[in-house]
Chain A
Amino acid sequence: MSAAVGLTLGPVLFHWDAEAWRDFHFRIADEAPVDTVAVGEVVCSKRLPFLADHLPAVVGRLEAAGKRVLLSSLALVTQERERRWTAELASGSGPTMVEANDVSALAPLAGRPHAIGPFVNVYNEATAAWLAARGARRLCLPPELPAASIAAIAAAAPPGLAVEVFAFGRVPLAISARCYHARAHGLAKDNCRFVCARDPDGMTVDTLDGERFLAVNGLQTLSHGCANLIEDAPRLARMGVAALRLSPQRCDMVAVARTFRAVLDGRMEPAEGRAALARLYPAAPFVNGFLHGRPGAEYVAATAP
């Protein structure tokens, strides 16, 4: 039943060293049991030049390995160079699908197969159907959607629209024009010295009472807790979800993907999968509250199916 559910590796949201970013994807191409890989800078346009040098090689290696590649666009587009970049990406005529993370990418993509990323607000089946009619083939839903919404959207999805759910990684919660890494370091955004590169897994944000709470990634704010829907995977499969998205953190993402694959294929119990993931990524507790209609910071243990 669940063999049909695919795995997608999301774009690296953090500012990784460019060679490390390239090598990470080479290993994904060679070893990870994921069907689809989204690549590209989503958070900060100042980081774009670093990845651009390696992007063709990474896309080539992934496609040669049989992966479907999505070229992810920026989530927040305000400056002229960001508009140009987004327009160039979305207007490109290459065979590789673009994943739109901002409404500004939608017009040039209309009429051609494309993907909708989790940063475009799709909260209901009417919006999903409208986008599908314009050429959307894949749709990664916003992480804050509860199971009831996911089920309704998946059930009503037109043929040819694959619905995907954010299933692993720190949860993107907000994007701003302002850089909180630069602010915390007392720097201006235009002279940021790329301090975000010091926190390749996100900068920890604690409450004044010392509780781990959030993680800052330049313009983006994520959860401290790491989304983990592995115990919910069988239920998501029954809803008709076509793929689970694994968002790269600083851990063995090949092993993370293998663990999800094993649970989806029925070779591993979900609880066992959760324990395996806890060993692979001990940096943060797991959260899945959004899926259960609870505060996103909570983890709700799976009940027997």
Chain B
Amino acid sequence: MELICPAGTPAALRVAVDAGADAVYCGYADETNARNFPGLNFSRAEMREGVAYAHRRGAKVLVAVNTFPRAGAVGPWRRAVDDAVQAGADALILADIGLLDYAARTHPGQRLHVSVQAAAANPDSVRFYVEAFGVKRVVLPRVLTVAEIAAVARAVAPCETEVFVFGGLCVMAEGRCSLSSYATGQSPNMNGVCSPASHVAYRERADGLVSRLGGFTINTFGRGEAAGYPTLCKGRFRTGPATGYLFEDPVSLDAAALLPALREAGVAALKIEGRQRGRAYVEGVVRAFREALSALEEGRPFVSPGLLSLTEGQSTTQGAYRKAWR
């Protein structure tokens, strides 16, 4: 299985390659990619240099152009596709049907992957992208169990499947969520951001700390309670029957223990989330998963990396892969 690692900066790309990534994924510094955060991502020159660095060391570079092009202004997205091809990207990660069509027609030899933002959650959707645009791989949304992943992988072969194994966890079907823009006006699909820091505020009150997003209280923390970032779907809310983490506890995904099952399922590539994270995160997580994968491939005793200290939340989950809630 290939290990696909995040690179929010050229430095992170080099760290990931040196730590054992088979491929890194990254994007241009604008709203064409789904991690459009201040200070992140690549200029055109940096992308060319990054590709050269990775290729010299036998690693691949996958360029994400995975937001949805703005109506009446699709130019920047098409330029990102053209420039990534020009830079020597090994694959483009795309979500928008119109942009997939453009890339397939304009660059017929270019390898295309379907982004998780396209929410291809079943074999029929995957086959649609294969037949319409000749895609070679699909990144599966984090809503499937391992058994469902295995069924999809079998059904869509030779199209490859890639799954997230570590990092931030969307609990909603990716690419189909407007919660962030309902509160802030900024969305993953249109702006490449979710619950953006520009709309976050923390306020001290007599009873503790309040975290807000776009003016809505997302969580409150008592004295001494660790305060988390107010990602909307990880907040505490009140409903008739219950008050608490309505959608998901503030957990991160860690599917390291499932690597043998994912290999058995026929998964081609494992993806680590976190283009917004620093070099220490990238190096630590990539090295740990490289070691776990090597052990798995060589039949050595498999030890789960145990990366709790590198997660964003207070604890980890295997997410939908093991659906305790079904």
Contact = CB atoms under 8 A, between A and B. Distances in A.
B72 A178 contact: no
A285 B244 CA distance: 24
Interface in A12-45: none
A200 B79 CA distance: 47
A144 B189 contact: yes
B148 A180 contact: no
Interface string B163-201: 000000001110111110111110101100000000000
A247 to B, nearest CB: 15
Nearest to B205: A209
B184, B242, B247 — which one has the most chain A CB atoms within 10 A of its CB? B247
B313 to A, nearest CB: 17
Contacts of B171: 176, 178
Contacts of A124: 68-72, 74, 96, 98
B124 A123 contact: no
B325 A188 contact: yes
Contact of B121 (A77, A214, A294): A77
A103 B124 CA distance: 8
Nearest to B124: A104
Interface string A143-168: 11100111111000000000000000
A203 B240 contact: yes
B122 interface: yes
Given A149-B71, A174-B172, A223-B182, A131 B97 contact: yes
Given A78-B122, A78-B144, A296-B178, A208 B243 contact: yes
B290 interface: no
20 contacts: A77-B125, A80-B151, A105-B124, A106-B128, A121-B175, A124-B69, A124-B72, A126-B74, A126-B98, A127-B96, A151-B71, A152-B73, A174-B173, A175-B173, A178-B320, A206-B237, A214-B179, A216-B239, A221-B172, A295-B184
Given A144-B187, A205-B237, A289-B182, 10 more contacts: A76-B173, A103-B129, A107-B124, A119-B176, A127-B97, A142-B189, A148-B72, A178-B143, A183-B325, A184-B239
Contact of A130 (B101, B144, B236): B101
B37 to A, nearest CB: 19
B56 interface: no
A102 interface: yes
A301 B177 CA distance: 26
B129 to A, nearest CB: 8
Contacts of B73: 152
Contact of A129 (B98, B181, B233, B240): B98
Interface in B36-74: 68-74
Contacts of A178: 143, 171, 247, 320, 325
Contacts of B242: 184-186
Interface residues of A, number: 76
Contacts of A127: 68, 96-99
A151 B72 CA distance: 9
A177 B144 CA distance: 8
A189 B143 CA distance: 14
Contacts of A174: 172-173, 176-179, 233
Nearest to A187: B325
A78 B141 CA distance: 10
A205 B235 CA distance: 11
A189 B324 CA distance: 10
Interface of B: 68-74, 95-99, 101-102, 118-125, 127-129, 131, 143-144, 148, 151, 171-173, 175-179, 181-185, 187, 189-190, 210, 214, 216-220, 233, 236-243, 246-247, 320, 323, 325-326
Contacts of A254: none
Given A204-B240, A208-B243, A213-B216, A130 B172 contact: no
B238 A121 contact: no
Contacts of A82: 122
Interface string A267-305: 000000000000000000000011001111100000000
Nearest to B176: A175
B238 A206 contact: yes
B326 A188 contact: yes
A79 B144 CA distance: 9
Contact of B246 (A106, A180, A294): A180
Nearest to A148: B72
B72 A149 contact: yes
Given A107-B124, A126-B98, A295-B184, A208 B237 contact: yes
A8 interface: no
Interface in A89-119: 102-107, 119
Chain A CB count within 10 A is highest, among B71, B98, B148, B237, for B71
A171 interface: yes
A208 to B, nearest CB: 5
A171 B208 CA distance: 33
B68 A121 contact: yes
B140 to A, nearest CB: 10
Nearest to A75: B176
Nearest to A205: B237
A90 B172 CA distance: 25
A63 interface: no
B71 A144 contact: no
Nearest to B128: A107
Nearest to A76: B173
Contacts of B172: 174-176, 221
